[in-house]
Structure 1
């Protein structure tokens, strides 16, 4: 009697060769950007170790130091203006990242994505590790750490435009908010892993909090060199559906609201025969790009302020040790994973990307106020507020950087051109990165006056992000009202 095929083999053979390759690319790009964020996170964990309350630290018997309140701190962060110095350190990375992002898209257009990503991850691993080696080399120069942060910020710009362009090459108009929301969890997963890895070493030898993530992202760079496939045609796979879409294909799926927001524009027409990169001004003239870019600026301002300052805030206000504060801060990113998926699902169901973002931003503002007021009243309250704030803050951020940016690559005028997609993505994320640079800097300047003022700044940014989408929200609501009226008319007939 002939034996039946094993269930696992049946499952494996039920997927086509194209499906296996697409799944492989999705997992690979997820891994790459997880490594990028993993290497960014340690600085926020280590801050509370570079400057801490030395009265709670047990002094080793063989350590010959003067008995002062800063004996356990790491110069130059042992001064009273340490919060400003941390802000400068963050800004070196984020300003370099914001500036470099606008140029990164142009480089991504002209260089093979595999080489570009490999070089970026290897370079990021080098500068991340060099920052940590300052501990073992006993370096106390602010300029050294600022330089390493700035260089790391520049090379980290290779990541986002390249992975989005690669995904755009492989996936067509079937990209929906739910799928992209799940894929975008690489940001939060990277933050969580970066926090846990840095937290494991921060109290004993904080240099390893940077060296280990540097080795990890360098290793993923090697994996990229050996395994990344940039385009389906390189391995004789079928082209994604957007390559064959008609002139009438809307940008954001099949919903009418998407067609309204991202309608065809005569100034940015491109032909399939000439895969030329879209111009900077042409991309800005696509309806909705300016609004979403500016909204992302303020949304990313809030998100990155939490990314760089939340562990220190928890350590100062809730009196956690550096490792405990770092571990607790990962709950914000756990909430971010859920928020990104929920935002994608809601926007898929409703057909309103802008409205979904706006509602989440509106709810986020009072939740930030509550977290500052009652968020440290016991561990259960802290956990709940961190999860809720993480979901509401990172949900709109995730939706704009994935569903909106990736959908631009399915626009018929781009014809799935990765070169054009790289430029458009860099413009959107570059604009958001300006906010990412400003937020931590303002937090460093404002925090000496009290953490309440930092949260007021975040709430104002949240409200501004919401207001910038008001025109698009009005159009979506108007469409919904018109659709409801037509449905009533049909029923009466």
Structure 2
């Protein structure tokens, strides 16, 4: 019930979070979300010291944590998308995305360290850490490159055109006025109100940034629906592993809860390598859907191998867990980062830069529904045998591949046409 309360709340709130993220300062948005997440995590832990035993207290805490944790993903993907261009985007996002696996590892190790002595600290310590980092973000985060004088390629060009035109008329005072006006309108400052940024937004509309788009409009962007549904099943597999792997290891071996939790972190170690590999291959080929399908195709038999042979010895379990992490988390990481940024800046938007957080929220929000459904189904199916849980995960991978099939066909068709275009040019 606690897992479901958090995951379903997270999935539903994600759509609203992306809508809000496009319309406010990400500096305030992210720092507020992290600090409130820390407070709710801390409140979960102090239930032990406060002798609180009401299930509804914990459910309400999980709902609050689920709401405020949704501020993270649309915000951070949008930030990285703003600061880095399209060159080597997959590799950059792949390396950057390792923070999710590192965070999972640290969170699991911290929880495992205290779980048998004082489980309250398993929540109190992470709560304090995320709250402190949220405060640092409030102090130092620069959420738009323009704030520190880093302009897109079009901005200096616009300034030069304006200056040349004014110099032809011999009005130097007007030149200075225009420079100041462009700088003022296009560059939000730390004093720009969080919800009242109309002058900056008006200037952005005039120069192609456009207005924030609706959720319905975002669904019409090519590939958004397919990748969203694919992520539903991909994230279902990933989160089922993340939530149930320590218990599965403990129940299928002689290891205790602490060692089982430690061993389960190898799944996230593999996820680091999988994210980087998927991003690099996507940059190399320009075929994101094909890379995802290929990794999902390999993941299915690897899952079956882990279920059959993972309990034979610790060394075999270590090797298979890393390999499973590579091929399960690789597509998940690629879709939630590079693909989301690419779809959010698609050419069909005609230069509208205000769609990135909305698209990211739609894709990750749909995936988060799968993340909520997977552990819930695993809990129900595990009573009939753990092998049935693995069969469910393999079926989910197959469905994810089928959902990408149309995009894969389009990518290969585009690949066949590209040599012809080169010869003509």
- What TM-score do you get using the length of structure 1 for normalisation? 0.73
Q: Which structure 1 segments of 5+ residues have no match? A: 1-87, 246-269
> Would the alpha carbon gap of residues 409 and 284 (structure 1) be closer, same or farther in structure 2, given more than 3 Å must change?
closer
Match of 1:251 in 2: none
Residue in 2 that maps onto 1:179:
92
Q: Is the Cα contact below 8 Å between 1:332 and 1:390 reproduced in 2?
A: yes
* RMSD after superposition: 2.1
Q: Is the 8 A contact 1:361 1:396 kept in 2?
A: yes
1:425 partnered with 2:338: no
Per the alignment, do residues 396 and 273 of structure 1 end up closer, same or farther by CA in structure 2, a change over 3 Å counting? closer
The aligned runs of 1:187-266 (5 Å cut-off) are: 187-239=100-152
- Spell out the pairing of 1:79-478 with structure 2 (5 A cutoff): 88-239=1-152, 272-273=207-208, 275-412=210-347, 413=349, 415=351, 417=353, 419-478=354-413
CA distance in 2, matches of 1:282, 1:271: 20
Summarize the Cα distance change of 1:127–1:238 in structure 2 as closer, same or farther, 3 Å threshold.
Answer: same
Cα deviation for residue 152 of structure 1 reads 0.4
Larger deviation: 393-402 or 138-147? Answer: 138-147
Contact kept, 8 Å, 2:210 with 2:352, in 1: the verdict is no
1:331 to partner: Cα distance: 0.3
SS in 2 for 1:110: coil
2:170 is matched with which residue?
A: none
State the match for 1:53 in structure 2: none
Cα-to-partner distance string for 1:430-456 (whole Å, 9 max, x where unaligned): 111110110011111111111111111
After superposition, the Cα gap between the structure-2 partners of 1:89 and 1:242, relative to the gap in structure 1 and judged at 3 Å, is farther
Task: Give the 3 Å change call, closer, same or farther, for CA 414–312 of structure 1 in structure 2.
Answer: farther
CA-CA distance at 1:483 after TM superposition = 5.0
C-alpha displacement of 1:174: 2.3
Give a deviation string over 1:14-37, Cα, whole Å, max 9, x none: xxxxxxxxxxxxxxxxxxxxxxxx
Question: Deviation of residue 406 (structure 1)?
Answer: 1.4
1:82 alignment counterpart: none
**What SS is found at the alignment partner of 2:135?**
helix
The 1:240/1:302 distance shift into structure 2, 3 A limit, reads farther
Distance of aligned partners of 1:450 and 1:175 in 2 relative to their CA distance in 1, 3 Å threshold: same
- For the 8 Å contact 1:172–1:243, the answer to whether it is kept is no
Cα distance in 2 between the residues matched to 1:340 and 1:171: 18
Shift of 1:170: 1.7
> 1:294, 1:431 within 8 Å by CA — same for their partners in 2?
yes
Aligned length: 376
